[in-house]
Chains A and B, each alone.
Chain A
Amino acid sequence: MQTSAHELDTRGGGLRAALAFGVLAVLLGGLVYPIAGTLLGGWTFPAQAGGSLVSVDGRQVGSALVAQPFSAPGYFQPRPSAAGYNPTAAAGSNYAPSNPALRERMAADAAAIAERDGITLATVPVELISASGGGLDPHLSPAGARVQAARIARARGIDEAAVLALIDAHVERAWLGVFGAPRVNVLLLNLALDQRASGH
């Protein structure tokens, strides 16, 4: 049988080629690539590759990239989570704007926040009553943190100005001032509050 480049293949390589291709695809695409990629990332950026875990006095308290629940009045409180802050059940609310259940939830949250921080409904930052996409958003907008400053200052018996200064020091800006939005990390901010209290 002639196999010159001018003689066209009319079979398409046949079953053997397809079977061998399947095996190679799994080996190269499914094993070599992800293993190489994972090892490369792990060697180059070990802290980030490990999940950005945060430790205090040798105790792992969470990840800077995962929201966790706070309820004490002396802590900044995160956005609502449709997943109960459980990373293994991450989810959004998936409520449509027209769903009455969304209105009910927002109304309850807004009332609670207005009461908690002594502000009017019209000044509640909207992300505080909006569930995040994965239920794990670790950030608040700077405004979402500032409205909590007075309550935290009161609970901790410190100056509100000190809390506001701490927030300002923790603001991460939009990248190049253009991409994304300014934000503060709730866990890191709360750790800073604790450290300030213990005089570190």
Chain B
Amino acid sequence: MTATLLTYLIAIAAAVPLGWWLARVLSTAPMPGEALFAAIERPLYVALGVDPARGMTWQAYARAFVLSNLVLGAFVYALLLFQGMLPLNPDGIPGMSWDLALHTMVSFLTNTNQQHYSGQAQLSYLSQLAGIVTLQVVTPMMGLAIAAAMLRALVGGRNAAAAREGDPRDVGNYYSDVIRLTLRAFLPLALVLSLLLTAQGVPSTFAGAAPATPLDSGAGMTEQVIPIGPVAPMVAVKQLGTNGGGWYGPNSAVPLENPTPLSNLLQTVAIILLPIAAVFMVGGLTGRRRLALMIFASMLLMSVGLTALAIFAEQAPNAASLGLAEVAANMEGKEVRFGSESSALWAALTTQTSNGSVNAMHDSLNPLAGMAAISGMLINAIWGGVGCGLVNFFVYVLLAVFLSGLMIGRTPELFGRKLEVHEMRLISLLVILQPLLLLGLSAFTLAAPTLTGNSNPGFHGVSQVFYEYTSAFANNGSGFEGLGDATSWWNLSCVAVLLVGRYAGLLIPLAVAGSLSSKRVAPSTRASLNVEGPVFAATLLAVIVLMTLLCFLPVFALGPIAEQLSLAR
């Protein structure tokens, strides 16, 4: 318990100043280190042909986001297809098949990092660095930029004071936002974390794999190849940027990727650091500190609830071990140096934040801990992905505002701007996509056993399939990894879910905020709905629980709950 509490406290204590820093980065006022940063950035803007001071309309902002994603996506797709004939490929790894390359590209472009290829054995060094790490660095900052644009739009744009009703609003400059966030916040943080992780034993070298001769020659292994490489910088960005795709297949469960309890603490804090900081950034960016506090408190409440469920479930022994060993917490798929609590904490946080890295195998979690993990991904707004979490949270806020408006008999409005048919239509579309895709595809896949690829029988098989699609839609990337997902069906169906989860999930709320931004602002009165207080927070939590969890209760009943009941003796 103490370790969990301290982890939360450390992350929150670090996120407060970082959130303030992010808000400074996203404003145009000079900040500490301005001269140095500006000197680095100036030639970049020249190369782009972009004036960083020139604001964009929300449509232009969205267009820049989509276009830059298309360019990077096309580049990485070509890289994966043709890596066999490209340099930096000492092991002669061939190009990927078209569907695996497509899934891998989309998975990293959408900040998901779901991996259907096996470990590093199918990626050349060039693909790993220029492809994967590139996307792991820029995609979280793209998400954060969209969140910033949405927040600016919600309060009327940067030109709110001068603009009249119906005027186009300035939601920021996309390229300036992404470049500033990357150079002034993300990369410096990542370099520090990378160095700290190396100090703990995470490899950081360009040398090839190290051959060793095991001590006990009678044990049947004559040579053990220790795979090393430029691991630490990648692990740092995968943790900080809610990416999750690791250097080694089993991710941060591998001792080389996560060697000590301290490295585990650093990586756990890194999972939630930027997502929490983004919440505090809201205060600085919109001038509404109480709003940031309301978001923070709501998210913290949900986070602690799901984390407690995961830890509680993992304290119980693995049912398969009963009568065969001492009665102790589930250790299947876990590492001794972390123990059960740290692994359950990680499992909860990595699914709340759409990170998706693991330090224990989720397939082997006790059923209710698996359910806590799936719940975090379904809500996908408890801290959430860097930027995306906030965006998703505002979808719930708009829904709660709409319902509250109906309840008190007033036109629903957020910050004085009326929420009307056009906005609600967009939000309804977004809200219906999740159950439609997840339930539809899960049902179809389970109905066709040749497609399913289950590795575990019974109720857990239902959970395996549902977990995979839920993870794809939430852009999480973790999995019940026993699933045989390296097939065309899984690749292509997940590509569709990944794309909808990312682009509909970010662009629809931006469009809603953009549409709200240029509306007339009604003066705030005593009868206006206060979205910054505890009453609204309670309504909001009710909306989240009802919308998300009840939608999927039948699946829970067929999957984790049924599995848990079947284990009871």
Contact of B361 with A92 in the complex, beta carbons under 8 Å: yes
User: For the complex, is A178 an interface residue (Cβ under 8 Å from B)?
Assistant: yes
Given known A-B contacts A41-B198, A88-B225, A130-B318, A180 and B62 have beta carbons under 8 A apart: no
Residue ranges of B at the interface with A (Cβ–Cβ < 8 Å): 2-3, 6, 44, 47-51, 53-57, 59-65, 67-68, 70-72, 75, 119, 121, 129-131, 133-138, 159, 162, 168, 170, 173-175, 178, 182-183, 187, 190-191, 194-195, 197-207, 209-216, 218-221, 224-228, 230, 232-234, 236-237, 248-251, 253-256, 259-262, 264-265, 317-321, 323-339, 342-343, 358-361, 363-364, 366-367, 455-460, 463, 480-482, 563, 566-567
* 22 pairs of residues in contact across A and B, judged by CB atoms under 8 Å: A12-B174, A18-B64, A21-B178, A25-B72, A26-B134, A29-B182, A34-B234, A40-B194, A48-B200, A50-B205, A68-B224, A69-B219, A72-B218, A97-B330, A97-B332, A122-B325, A124-B325, A126-B321, A133-B360, A134-B249, A141-B336, A179-B261
Interface mask (A66-106 → B, CB under 8 Å = 1, otherwise 0): 11111110010001000011111111111111111011001
Query: Given A121-B324, A174-B261, are A72 and B216 also a contact pair (CB < 8 Å)?
Result: yes
Contact across chains for A8 and B56 when beta carbons are under 8 A apart: yes
Nearest B residue to A11 via CB reads: B60
Q: Are A179 and B3 in contact (CB under 8 A)?
A: yes
The yes or no answer to A51 lying at the interface (CB within 8 A) is yes
Interface check A199, CB cutoff 8 A: no
Inter-chain contact total with CB atoms closer than 8 Å: 465
Give the residue of A24, A28, A48, A137 whose beta carbon is less than 8 angstroms from that of B201.
A48
Q: Are B324 and A29 in contact (CB under 8 A)?
A: no
B170 near A8: Cβ-Cβ < 8 Å: yes
Across-interface contacts of A132 in B (CB, < 8 A):
253, 333-336
Per-position 1/0 for A21-48, Cβ under 8 A of B:
1111110111101111110111011001
B71, B133, B338: the one contacting A180 at CB < 8 Å is: B338
Q: Nearest chain-A residue to B330 (Cβ)?
A: A97
Please determine whether B54 and A9 come into contact, CB atoms closer than 8 angstroms: yes
Residue with the greatest number of chain A CB neighbours at <10 A, chosen from B68, B159, B323? B68
Question: Could you tell me if B75 and A22 are in contact, using CB atoms closer than 8 angstroms?
Answer: yes
Q: Known contacts A18-B71, A133-B250, A179-B264; is A95 also within 8 Å of B133 by CB?
A: no
Contact A17 B54 (CB under 8 A): no
Contact A51 B325 (CB under 8 A): no
Q: Which of B203, B225, B253, B319 contacts A97 (CB 8 A)?
A: B319
Interface flag for A140 (CB, 8 Å): yes
For residue B50, which residues in chain A have a CB less than 8 angstroms away from its CB? 13, 17
Given A71-B216, A86-B224, A126-B326, A97–B175 Cβ distance below 8 Å? no
Contacts A92-B253, A130-B318; is A98 near B361 (CB within 8 Å)?
Answer: no
Kindly state whether residue A6 has any CB partner on chain B within 8 Å. Answer: yes
* Residue A162 CB within 8 A of the other chain: no
Which of A13, A33, A68, A106 has a CB less than 8 Å from the CB of B320?
A106
Partner of B332, one of A65, A84, A95, A191: A95
Q: Hey, which chain B residues are within 8 Å of A144, CB to CB?
A: 336
Bound: A64/B253 CA distance, A:
15
Closest A residue, CB atoms, query B173: A9
Given A9-B54, A61-B214, A63-B212 in contact, is the A51-B228 Cβ separation under 8 Å? yes
Total contacting residues, chain A, CB less than 8 A? 119
Given known contacts A9-B55, A62-B224, A68-B221, what 15 new A-B pairs fall within 8 Å (CB)?
A: A13-B50, A29-B182, A33-B133, A37-B191, A41-B198, A63-B226, A68-B214, A90-B249, A91-B481, A121-B325, A133-B250, A133-B343, A133-B359, A180-B3, A190-B215
Q: Closest residue of chain A to B126, judged by CB?
A: A30
Q: Is A200 an interface residue (CB 8 A)?
A: no
The interface residues of chain B lying within 8 Å CB-to-CB of A161 are none
B59 / chain A contacts, CB cutoff of 8 Å? 10, 12
User: Could you tell me if B215 and A18 are in contact, using CB atoms closer than 8 angstroms?
Assistant: no
Which of chain B's residues has its CB closest to A24's CB? B44
Q: Are B214 and A62 in contact (CB under 8 A)?
A: yes
Q: Does A181 contact B (CB under 8 A)?
A: yes
Q: Is the CB of B320 within 8 A of A97?
A: yes
Closest to A75 in B: B216
Contact, CB under 8 Å: A181 / B338: yes
When distances are taken between beta carbons in the complex, the residues of chain B under 8 Å from A181 are 261, 336-339, 342
Closest chain A CB from B73 CB (angstroms): 9
**Minimum CB distance partner of A92 in chain B:** B361
In the complex, how many angstroms separate the beta carbon of B99 from the nearest chain A beta carbon?
Answer: 23
**A20: interface (CB < 8 Å):** yes
A91 CA to B364 CA, complexed, in Å:
12
Cα A117 to Cα B364 in complex, Å, equals 27
Give the distance in Å from the alpha carbon of A94 to the alpha carbon of B363 in the complex. 5
Residues in B whose Cβ lies below 8 Å from that of A51: 203, 205, 210, 226, 228, 256
